[in-house]
Structure 1
C-alpha cells in the first residue's frame, strides 16, 4: 500500500512591511507616503473621520450616502464628465464608508499621478452632490433593504445587531441606514454631513507606489489647498448591550427549510491589548475551516456546510458572532453544540496541535495580504483609524507566535461571556420554537420578519 505524507514546511521567511514616512502638513492633513517601486503603479487612499458611527440620530445612512455621492460630480463637472476624466487617466476609483471612516481610493500608473491627484482634490474639496444622484443612490439603498428582508442571511445579521445593542447605540442599526432613516435623508443632510466631517484635520492621505516623498508632498499640498481647514468635532460612541441576560429571538420566516443562526455578545474594540491572544483563541474556536465549531457542526454532525465565529473589529466594541445555517429540524441541536463549544474553550486548555494550526495560519497568510499598492494603503489606513503603533506590521508575526496555550485560555475566559449570549434565529417558528425553547438558553421572543 502506498501512503503519502504531507511535506514538511521550510523555514519561515522573514518579512518586512514597506517603509513609510508620516507627517502632518500645514493644512492639517495627515500624509503617509510609502515608496514601493516594484511596478509603475500608485494607489492614493484618502480616509476621513466620517464613518457611519458619526451619523446624526434619525439620519442613519448619511455617512454612506455622502461618501457614495462624492463621485457623482463636482462644482464644475457632472458625474458622467467626472467618470470620463478618471477613465481617460486609466484610473480605478471608488468611494464608500464603513463604521469608522469614509474613503476615496484611486489607483493609476505613476505617470498619471499628478493629473489623477489633482482631479481627486476637486472631488473631495468641491463636491456637487447633485440632487438627482442623491435620490438615485437613496433609491438603490432602499431597494437593497427590501431585498434584504426576503433574504434570511442578511436579515439575520441585521436583526442580530438590533437585538444585541441598546436602541440608543448607533451599532443597533445598519451602517448604511434603515428604510426609515434613508427615506428621511435629503441633499441638505448630505451637504451638512460633508461640511461637518470632511475637513483637513480629520483627513489622512496615503500614497503607496512608485513615488518620491518630496514630489508627492508638494502634489498633495497643491491638490488639497482649497479644502476646508479644521477638524470634525468628536462624537460619543455608545456601544452598550441591550441586556446583560441571555435572550433568544426567533424571526419567523414561514415554511423556511433552513434556520440562519447568530449567537454572540458585545465584543472588543480593535485597540484592546488582548487583541492577539483573542485573535488566536477565535481562530481555534471558529475562525478557521479546521476550527472546533466548524469541525463539530459540519464534519462530526453534518448539520451545515460551514460554521464560523468572528470578532467584528471596530473603534468601538463590535460584536462577537457565531454564524451558520442549518436545516430547521436540527436548529436546537446546532445551538446546543455552539454553546457547548464556547463553554469548552473557556474550561479546558487547547492542544498544542490546535495552537500550532492557528498560529501557522495567521502567521503564514500575513505577508501575502500586502502584495499590491492598494492592500498596503489599506493596511496603513488601519494604523491611523485604530491608533496602532508604527511597527505593528513588522511585529505582527512575532506577536502571533508569542501567544501561548495559557494566553488562549485567559483570553477565552476574559472575552467570551456565556451568560450574556444573545441568540437570533431566522426560520420557521412553528417548527423550531418548542425545541429551541427547551434548551433554556434565554428568554424566548418571536418576531415577524
Structure 2
C-alpha cells in the first residue's frame, strides 16, 4: 500500500513517541521531584589548573634595548614589533596630531632605498605586512610574514626604523585624512560621549584627552616628524618582540646584528601630573538628530599596581561585569530602561583609569535611567556583598582571564606591555592568587574607600527636547552645556563660505 506524505509523517511521529516512551518513560507527578531540590548544585567543578604561561626569552643588549623572543612552531609564520616609548601625551599641545601624522607618513613615505609605494608592491607579492603606528604613549613598527620571507621583511622593518624618508607628499595626504576625521568627529553620539566623558575626568587640556584640531595639524612639517624620530629612536627606549616559527639562537643573532649598533639615548621620562577627577555636576550636549541618550557617570579609577586592584576588580565584576551584574539586572532586566548598560572601575598601568557607568536609553527615560544608575553606585557602599556574588564574580574573572593569554602570541604581547611599564614579569601569574584571596570584607572595605557618588559627574548626549523629565531633577545643580563646535581656521571658514564678499 502506498502511503501519502501526511500518513507517512504521522507514522514517523508515532514511532518516535513510542521510542521516547521506551527510552525515557514519563515519570508520574507523584514520583517527580517536588521538594525544590536543585541537584545541579551538587556538580563538582574541578579546580582551575595553575597558570604558568611560557614566558618569552628576555635579552638585554649592551645599549639597553630589550628583546623578547617567543618561538611557536604551530604555523610557518613570524610576527614582530618594535615598540618605542613616547606618544601623543608627550607632544606639545600646539602640535597635537603630530603622532597620528607621524605614524601614517612614516610607512607610506618608505625609506631612503624604496618608496612607500614600492614597499606596498613588494610586500603584497609576498602576502606580508610592515606597518607603522602611533598612540597615546608609544610609536611602533610591526611586521608579519611567512617564515621563508622573514629575512627580507625584517630588513624592511629595520630600514624603516633607521632610514625613514618622510615624504612631503605623504605628509600632506596624512593631513588630509586627519582633517577629514576632525570635521566628522561630531557625527556619532556615542563617540562624542566617550570623548567628552574622558575630558571631564582628566580635564580638557590633559595630554590624555587633547584632540587634534585643524589649526594644530596644518603647521606640522616634515622637519617635525624627523625631529620626533631622532628624539625617540634610541636603543634603550625600544622593546623588540618576535614570535613564531624560528630558531631562537638564529633569531637572537639576527637581532643582535641589526640593533647592537643603535646608539643609546637619555632615559625616557615617566609621565607625571595630578589627577583630581571631574568637577561634580551635570553636563549635557544637545544632539537633536538622535532618539536615544548616551549617559555617562564618571569619576577617577585606579592603577594596576594598587594593592587594592584585585578587590576592586571583583567589586567591579559584581557591579557591572555582565548579564548577571547588579547594574544590568536592575537597569535593563528589572526596569527595561536601557538596551546597553555597562561600567568599569578602570585601572591603567601608569596613571589612574576611569570609573564609569554607561547606558544608552531612549530620550524620554534619560533622567530615570541616570537616577537608577546613581542608586546602584550608591548601593556599593550600603548594600552588603554576598558570598554567592563573590564566588560568581571570581569564577567569571578567572575563567575568562585565561582566554586573554591562551596563545604564545598573546603572552608575548602581554610580556612586552609589562616590560614597557616596568611591571614584574610574573604579574599575570599573580593575578589568579590576588583574585582568589579577595573576601567579602575586602569588597566592603574598598567600596567604602573608593566609591564616593559626591565626586562623580554626569554627561548626557542626546535630544534635550525629548527628555521629558529635565536633568535638573537629578539635584546636582544647573546643567552645564558643553560646546563641541569644531574650530575652523579663518581662511578655511572663508573658503567654505564661498570666499570674501560672497553671501
TM-score of the alignment, normalized to the shorter chain, above 0.5: yes
Q: CA deviation at 1:62?
A: 1.9
Q: Assess if the C-alpha contact under 8 Å between 2:331 and 2:337 holds in 1.
A: yes
- Segments of structure 2 that go 5 or more residues without pairing to the other structure are 1-28, 34-38, 485-503
Q: CA deviation at 1:365?
A: 1.8
Q: Say if 2:284 is the partner of 1:250.
A: yes
What residue is the counterpart of 2:178 in the other structure?
141
**Deviations 1:203-233 (CA, angstroms, capped at 9, x unpaired):** 0001223333332222112233564531354
Matches within 5 A, 1:164-175: 164-174=201-211
User: The residue matched to 2:443 in structure 1 has which SS?
Assistant: helix
Q: Assess if the C-alpha contact under 8 Å between 1:254 and 1:428 holds in 2.
A: yes
Q: Assess if the C-alpha contact under 8 Å between 1:278 and 1:411 holds in 2.
A: yes
Q: CA deviation at 1:202?
A: 0.7
Q: CA deviation at 1:251?
A: 0.6
What residue is the counterpart of 1:261 in the other structure?
295
User: The residue matched to 1:12 in structure 2 has which SS?
Assistant: coil
What residue is the counterpart of 1:323 in the other structure?
358
What residue is the counterpart of 2:464 in the other structure?
429
**Deviations 1:330-371 (CA, angstroms, capped at 9, x unpaired):** 111111111111111122332222222221122112222223
Q: Say if 2:56 is the partner of 1:20.
A: yes
Q: CA deviation at 1:309?
A: 0.9
Q: Assess if the C-alpha contact under 8 Å between 2:55 and 2:412 holds in 1.
A: no
Q: Assess if the C-alpha contact under 8 Å between 2:81 and 2:141 holds in 1.
A: yes
Return 205-214 or 256-265, whichever deviates more: 205-214
Question: Structure 1 residues 441, 385: closer, same or farther in 2, change over 3 A?
Answer: farther
What TM-score results when the alignment is normalised by the length of structure 2? 0.81
Q: Assess if the C-alpha contact under 8 Å between 2:78 and 2:146 holds in 1.
A: yes
Q: Assess if the C-alpha contact under 8 Å between 1:246 and 1:443 holds in 2.
A: no
What residue is the counterpart of 1:52 in the other structure?
88
1:32 to 42, 62, 68: 68
What residue is the counterpart of 2:190 in the other structure?
153
Distance 1:383 1:416 in 2: 28
Q: Assess if the C-alpha contact under 8 Å between 1:19 and 1:35 holds in 2.
A: no
What residue is the counterpart of 1:282 in the other structure?
316
Question: Structure 1 residues 411, 134: closer, same or farther in 2, change over 3 A?
Answer: farther
What residue is the counterpart of 1:217 in the other structure?
252
Distance 2:50 2:304 in 1: 26
Distance 1:64 1:108 in 2: 25
1:376 to 380, 391, 411: 411
What residue is the counterpart of 1:125 in the other structure?
162
1:414 to 439, 445, 449: 449
Q: Assess if the C-alpha contact under 8 Å between 1:42 and 1:373 holds in 2.
A: no
Distance 2:457 2:352 in 1: 15
Q: Assess if the C-alpha contact under 8 Å between 1:41 and 1:373 holds in 2.
A: no
Q: CA deviation at 1:291?
A: 1.6
Question: Structure 1 residues 227, 356: closer, same or farther in 2, change over 3 A?
Answer: same
Q: CA deviation at 1:90?
A: 3.3
RMSD: 2.6
User: The residue matched to 1:323 in structure 2 has which SS?
Assistant: strand
Q: Assess if the C-alpha contact under 8 Å between 2:62 and 2:260 holds in 1.
A: no
Structure with max Cα Rg: 2
Q: CA deviation at 1:308?
A: 0.9
User: The residue matched to 1:277 in structure 2 has which SS?
Assistant: helix
Q: Assess if the C-alpha contact under 8 Å between 2:241 and 2:412 holds in 1.
A: yes
What TM-score results when the alignment is normalised by the length of structure 1? 0.91
Q: Assess if the C-alpha contact under 8 Å between 1:169 and 1:240 holds in 2.
A: no
Distance 1:283 1:90 in 2: 42
Question: Structure 1 residues 440, 200: closer, same or farther in 2, change over 3 A?
Answer: same
Distance 1:181 1:54 in 2: 15
User: The residue matched to 1:205 in structure 2 has which SS?
Assistant: strand
Q: Assess if the C-alpha contact under 8 Å between 1:46 and 1:203 holds in 2.
A: yes
1:197 to 216, 232, 236: 232
Distance 2:129 2:412 in 1: 15
Matches within 5 A, 1:302-341: 302-310=336-344, 311=346, 313-341=348-376
Distance 1:23 1:163 in 2: 42
Question: Structure 1 residues 261, 28: closer, same or farther in 2, change over 3 A?
Answer: same
What residue is the counterpart of 1:114 in the other structure?
151
Q: Assess if the C-alpha contact under 8 Å between 2:72 and 2:245 holds in 1.
A: yes
**Deviations 1:144-189 (CA, angstroms, capped at 9, x unpaired):** 2322201100011111122332344212324xx3444334433222
- Segments of structure 1 that go 5 or more residues without pairing to the other structure are none
Return 226-235 or 80-89, whichever deviates more: 226-235
Count of aligned pairs between the two proteins: 446
Distance 1:257 1:370 in 2: 40
